[in-house]
Chain A
Amino acid sequence: MKNLIATLGILLLAFATEATAQSFKVIVNKANETESVSKKELSRIFLKNKTKWDDGSEITPVDLKASSATRKAFSNDIHGRDVGAIRSYWQQAAFSGKGTAPVERSSDAEIITFVTNNPGAVGYISESTDATGVKVLTIN
């Protein structure tokens, strides 16, 4: 019985850790005046429901490849759904003509380059990656 309780305790702890862990940081171009963003807003931005920054300029979200561990963490934490569910969302959008998924890049370095070159861009990189050259947003 004690073993069962201990196992359940470890599992709960593991889930709790996964739910609260944030292994990514959200970055924008240095020219962007935004300092913070809520999870809900971020989700809307990456689902292309919110398309403009507060100053009226276009938002260009950029995703990591579907196999990326950072994207998995971002998807679970920000959208509350796994990467597969979000890909399904975009497949439905593509077939019904409602839109197409954000552009994708293969690595953190490519995300940083994209954000540096596009004033309206927003992306995310691994928490351990050096974000010099871009601005890191605070997530509310």
Chain B
Amino acid sequence: MVNRRIPILTLIFVFLIGAKVTFAQSNWEPQTNITGYISTEVNYFDELDGYDLNYSAAVSEAGILISYQPKSNFRIKGVFVYRPKFEIDQMLNEAFGELTLSEEAKFKAGRFLLPLSPSNTFYYAPVNTSATLPILVTNHEFYPVTIDGASINGSIGSEFKVNYDFFAGGFNNSTWLRTGAVRFFGDEVNYFKKQINSSATLDPSYNETYNFGVGGRLGFSYKSNIDVGFSAFKPNDQDVPLLVNVPANGLYPGSPATQIVQESRFEKFSYGINVKLQYQNTKLVGEYWKADLVIDGSDTDLEGGFVELNHRINKVTPYIRYEDQKTADVDYKRYTAGVNYKPSFRKTFKLEYLRYEHSSGDINGFVGTLIYSF
């Protein structure tokens, strides 16, 4: 319940601020913006071990965004995205109020997407060139996507800008959030850990827990051509349930092979750099993240990154992406190539080929997506 109480309380708080601001000014035409989408997709994988089906088709997500700006310096934004098998709380992606003191200083409170990386602009199906999200987004090991808290942010300058966004708040630990029709995306680390019979992994009960953290992003941009950002995130130290594989005779002579859950102390600090370069219709986006993880006093390095290149030719955008993710004992790469065809605002078609490379065996997949926007 605590993870629902916090966003509700912060929302009440920002509505109260909003009410005060509403009465404080005049001569403003209130603006409402409503947009959304329904996304369906077909997935096919050739060698997915442990899954009943290699292919499936489903409504992958359906989202609606409503923003209301009663005054020029105050807005409320809410985004609700349906995804199969997600809880209601997980579907409430954003619900916050933002007070603009000036372009250099804005205050935001409620639930909002973290500003840690430009990959958040990929988070919703119609605004993501690719048919799949970067692993850094679908897999939440390094940092959460949303937070319930407060942020102070702003930008200084016009053509050359310095942007900042610092925040603090609570978040759901949700390392494995399966998405897609086959529900493989988001589960990659867990999948490969099973493939190599890893000695330990996070217990699924970790997904139910709540934690607090602080972080921020400092960015530098020139027009819409260059954007470079540096980000960091520090969650509170936490006792995390680990699922440990114990081999036969591991507990006592003659004991059978089994699994036990044991709590370990996690101390974590994540930091990264992200870059966006755009020249006319060509865009290059990339980021690299590193996380220093200390488990019961023992150091482990985690890292991940991706780079995506796309080039728009009128209504068609071909793209390629390379991703790499290293955890304590899993290191895999994902290569993606696809094409995005958007004949109108309402319709988007995407077709994508993916190849996961891992020492336990490679996986090939196809994703076809049809999105209706409104």
Contact = CB atoms under 8 A, between A and B. Distances in A.
Interface of A: 49, 66, 83-85, 87-88, 91-92, 94-98, 100-101, 103
A103 B69 contact: no
A94 B373 contact: no
Contact of A103 (B29, B77, B112, B120): B29
Contacts of B346: 84
B127 A101 contact: no
Contacts of A97: 77, 112-113
A95 B345 contact: no
Interface string B215-251: 0000000011000000000000000000000000000
A101 B120 contact: no
Nearest to B122: A96
A59 to B, nearest CB: 13
Given A94-B65, A103-B31, A88 B126 contact: yes
Majority SS at the chain B contact face = mixed
Contacts of B112: 97
Contacts of A96: 113, 120-121, 127
A84 B344 contact: yes
A92 B113 CA distance: 14
9 contacts: A49-B224, A84-B345, A85-B315, A87-B345, A88-B345, A94-B67, A95-B127, A97-B113, A101-B33
Contacts of A100: 31, 33, 67, 69
Query: Which of A49, A92, A97, A103 gathers the greatest number of chain B CB atoms within 10 Å?
Result: A97
A88 B373 contact: yes
B15 interface: no
A39 to B, nearest CB: 16
B372 interface: no
A104 to B, nearest CB: 10
Contacts of A101: 33
Contacts of B77: 97
Query: Which of B123, B127, B224 gathers the greatest number of chain A CB atoms within 10 Å?
Result: B127
Contacts of A88: 126-127, 342, 345, 373
Contacts of B121: 92, 95-96, 98
A15 to B, nearest CB: 14
A6 to B, nearest CB: 26
B330 interface: no
B266 interface: no
Interface in B336-368: 342-346
Nearest to B69: A100
Contacts of B79: 95
Nearest to B128: A92
B345 to A, nearest CB: 4
B344 A91 contact: no
B36 to A, nearest CB: 9
Query: Which of A85, A88, A92, A95 gathers the greatest number of chain B CB atoms within 10 Å?
Result: A95
Contacts of A95: 35, 65, 79, 121, 123-124, 126-127
A124 B127 CA distance: 28
B265 to A, nearest CB: 35
A25 B159 CA distance: 28
Given A49-B223, A100-B31, 17 more contacts: A84-B342, A84-B344, A85-B345, A88-B126, A88-B345, A91-B35, A91-B126, A91-B127, A94-B33, A94-B65, A95-B35, A95-B123, A95-B124, A95-B127, A96-B121, A98-B121, A100-B69
B373 A91 contact: yes
